[in-house]
Amino acid sequence: MWNAILRPCLVCFVILAVLTGIAYPMLMTGAAQLLFPHQANGSLITSDGKPAAHASQAAGSALIGQSFAGKGYFWSRLSATSPAYNADGSSGSNFGPTSPNLLSEVTGAVGALELADPKNKKPIPIDLVTSSASGLDPDISPASAYYQVGRVARARHLSRGAVKALVAQCVRGRWLGVFGAAHVNVLRLNMRLNKLSAMRH
């Protein structure tokens, strides 16, 4: 019993646990910090979109969405975290497809968008009125960004064409043209929008 089972059991467990639970993650941390320090520390960026040397200089992470309100910013998707875009507690809504909560969530978001831009009669892209899986989705679809162009341009006293061109520059296509989906990073888009406003005024 001791020789066939207990001794190898203890030895294998201890050594393999140290290897996989301490040596391996520490090695990976060291290597990632050395090779990819920006990515390994959360892809933090400053308000002009450049990599931030330290969190205190950062206006956010390029990978984590933020809440935007008011007519002068592009809005992010709905977030089921509490409060919205709480990056310390990711969560989806888990509303089922036939749930009344889903319907009231969508109609509420449609109402808010229409209130902010009553003259815009274009259909509203589905991703703009639904909650993301993580509650931290950094992106909206290009269609959702274009949908908001009129409102943002008016609020910022910019030309529609200039804002539309800005969105076009921020569209990221699919990987290899087919994998995943096209998207626009809302934080980066709004950073460039601030820059555009500052230049024009």
Q: What residues numbered 23-62 form the site for other proteins, per CB under 8 A? A: 24-25, 27-29, 31-33, 35-36, 39-44, 47, 55, 58-62
Rounded Cα distance between 169 and 200, Å, is: 18
Nearer residue to other proteins within complex by CB, 151 or 183 = 183
Rg (CA), the chain: 23
* 45 three-state secondary structure: strand
Nearer residue to other proteins within complex by CB, 33 or 159 = 33
CB of 112 to other proteins, least distance (A): 13
* 139 three-state secondary structure: strand
CB of 124 to other proteins, least distance (A): 5
Pick left, alpha or beta for residue 66 (phi over 0 → left; psi -120 to 50 → alpha; otherwise beta): beta
Nearer residue to other proteins within complex by CB, 16 or 165 = 16
Identify whether the C-beta of residue 62 lies closer than 8 Å to the C-beta of residue 183.
Answer: no
CB of 200 to other proteins, least distance (A): 19
In Å, what is the CA distance from 134 to each residue of 45, 69, 71, 94?
A: 20, 20, 25, 11
Applying CB under 8 A, among 17, 71, 161, 165 the residue interacting with other proteins is 17
> What is the footprint of other proteins within residues 77-116 (CB under 8 A)?
77, 85-100, 102-103, 106-107, 110
Applying CB under 8 A, among 51, 112, 116, 124 the residue interacting with other proteins is 124
CB of 17 to other proteins, least distance (A): 5
> What is the footprint of other proteins within residues 168-197 (CB under 8 A)?
174-176, 178-183, 187, 190-191, 194
Determine, following the binding rule CB under 8 A, whether residue 150 of this chain makes contact with other proteins. Answer: no
CB of 2 to other proteins, least distance (A): 9
- Render 145-191 in DSSP notation, one character per residue: HHHTHHHHHHHHT--HHHHHHHHHHHEE--BTTTBS--EEEHHHHHH
Identify whether the C-beta of residue 68 lies closer than 8 Å to the C-beta of residue 190.
Answer: yes
Applying CB under 8 A, among 53, 104, 133, 169 the residue interacting with other proteins is 133
